[in-house]
Amino acid sequence: MIMKNESALSAVKQSTRANPNLLLIDEINVLLSDKYYGGMYIPSVYLKDHSIKALLDSIWQSKTVISLNKVKALPAYTTCDTKYSNWIFFFDEAIKDMLTALQSYQSSTYIVQKDRIVYVEGESLVDNMNSLEENVGILIDCGTFLYAEMPHDFAYIGDVTGTLKTLANVEKQIVEKVYGINKATIMPSVFGSCNRNYNPENDVRVVDENEYFMYILGEINPIHLSSIKSDVQIITEKVSAKERELCMKHAATIGKITLITRIFSRGTDFICRNQNLLANGGIHVVQMFSFSEELSEEYQIMGRGARQGDQGSYRMILLDNDLEWILGSSWETEIPKIMGNLLYKTLNGARTKLDESKCSAKELDIAQCRTEHKASKEFLNALTSENIEQVKLFLKKRNEGINSITASSRTVLLMDATGSMSNLLPATKETVCTVFERASTILTEKGLPNDAFQMQFAVYRNYNCKENEILQVSPWTIKCSSLREIMNSIRSCGGWRCEAIEIGLSHAVQESEIPESISQVILIGDAPANTQADVSSKRAHFGEPYRQNTRFSTPTYYATELQKLKNKKFPSMHFTSLQQQQKISKNLRVRHLAVAKN
């Protein structure tokens, strides 16, 4: 429709449903997963052709162009205006965003080579295999649909699950109140009671990095690994279905060691037919990655063995620093306190509290997005009812760009996204989105333009992360939906005690030096900044030659970057719970707000 520059919609043939529709769910946990409950589907289309690429190339090559009116004077714009006269507003809004992004553009570690974007990784070049010519265009946002709202379009919901008993109280409430599933029938196993040998007080172990692999080897066989190498088989996502089925059969034989990735913890059935193996205890399952974020996943993993009444056993061997996500930045001091029969009880209790916090945050997220979901459904109805004016109005509002001419408040939000922030990340995201949404409401009430309040989201980690993870930065945005989409894509990872706050502050300094500058910085974290000695030693993790070929070739220190911000004399707010970071706020003469970890 857009590419053909049509000003009217084609009639859509609609059919009526004779019978009520039914939604079948494979596992109840699907409805409660991070991707579904609180997740969003944001359909979009790419407008791509030679005239559009020529326009974007013209803007890119003329980085001094600072206004939409100057872009409209370019021959490439005139060509697009003629070709897409009914939809030129898409171009205008996209150009506004592009001009805003160009103001803070910095050279990056990629080059264009033979129509490919090639990234520089240390001394190597990594080709992303995508044609630049074929993938440059204008992205059109076509709405926001909440997965959690979609089941309401069905008359009936049916589900067969083996993990109903693992649901926490807050999850049971979601199933009943959000999805309206109020009836459940629990059927006893036809194979009788479970014969799994597992005691969480004794069979959950935490070891340090020096002992980890030898401990796992001890679970398999006390002899040296080289003598059992021929008995090892590996199942990954790259293994074909036929080969995987063969491996599953071999796994249930004496002496066979099978390594499988996390994705196969559900639905991969190892049925033991070997009577000698069953007589010796059956299949032994060892969970070797981090403590499961969901109790249901833990049940699924242990359920790979001791199936259908067979004998079997289960054990969990955890690497101590992998527990940072659940115990927080003080994990090193917490682990010795809970070793022994308190270990699993403590970890499971912390997981339950985290689940409750995440579900509460998602509930707020869903409530905030219901209006957008409803508007997006009305947009679909407008498409099918041929209401072109309503379609244009919706799309223009969804794709509104930033007007760089408008005097605005520009906020950089810096956030620690390391492993210890896992228990704070969901609530933090929703709080930020709430603040952003309220600011937008106030602007509307005061009759001010929507782009008078702009926000950029940036997360920092530490030097044990590669260049693309140590600092991740979003475009400037004026829409809560865009901010939420960006924030939901962030996952906690990495971390190294004191964190690379200096990297985040350095980015804020760079943003403050462009003509638009910034109005304030919000810093959210739970760990202090690296010391100068930390910076020197941690940068050596991938080697200094690697750092020299990245955006972070020059070492810096948080106090240095802090002084630069202090000299700017703009306000900063700082959310944290640590004494050293309180000092940062004090130096910037600002208010300090503490965030409780629970």
- Structure confidence by residue, pLDDT tens digits, 145-167: 999 999 999 988 888 787 787 88
Say which amino acid occupies 425. Answer: L
Share of the chain above pLDDT 90, in %: 24
Question: β-strands 257-260, 471-473: how paired?
Answer: unpaired
Local confidence band at 405 (pLDDT 50, 70, 90 cut-offs): low
Report the range of poorest mean pLDDT among 211-220, 230-239, 478-487, 498-507: 478-487
What pTM, to 2 d.p., does this model score? 0.76
Homologous superfamily of 195-341: P-loop containing nucleotide triphosphate hydrolases (3.40.50.300)
Instruction: Tell the CATH topology of 400-598.
Output: Rossmann fold (3.40.50)
Q: What stretches of 313-409 show up as alpha helix (H) in DSSP?
A: 324-327, 331-338, 343-384, 388-398
- Give the model's pLDDT for residue 459: 93
Local confidence band at 441 (pLDDT 50, 70, 90 cut-offs): confident
pLDDT at 542 over 70: yes
- Give the model's pLDDT for residue 579: 42
pLDDT at 127 over 70: no
| Closest to 272 measured CA to CA, from 303, 244, 250 | 250
- Chain-centre distance of CA 488, in angstroms? 5
Tell which wins on pLDDT, 437 or 110. Answer: 437
Does residue 121 contact residue 16 with C-beta atoms inside 8 Å? Answer: no
Tell which wins on pLDDT, 572 or 244. Answer: 244
| Alpha-carbon separation of residue 74 from 51, 55, 67 (angstroms) | 12, 8, 12
Local confidence band at 534 (pLDDT 50, 70, 90 cut-offs): very high
Q: Which of 23-27, 419-423, 579-583 has the highest mean pLDDT?
A: 23-27
Range 87-95 average pLDDT: 90
Burial of 122 (0-12, 13-18, 19+ CB in 10 A): middle
Instruction: Indicate the domain borders of the chain.
Output: 195-341, 400-598
Retrieve residue 421's tokens: 């922030």
| Closest to 146 measured CA to CA, from 40, 281, 53 | 40
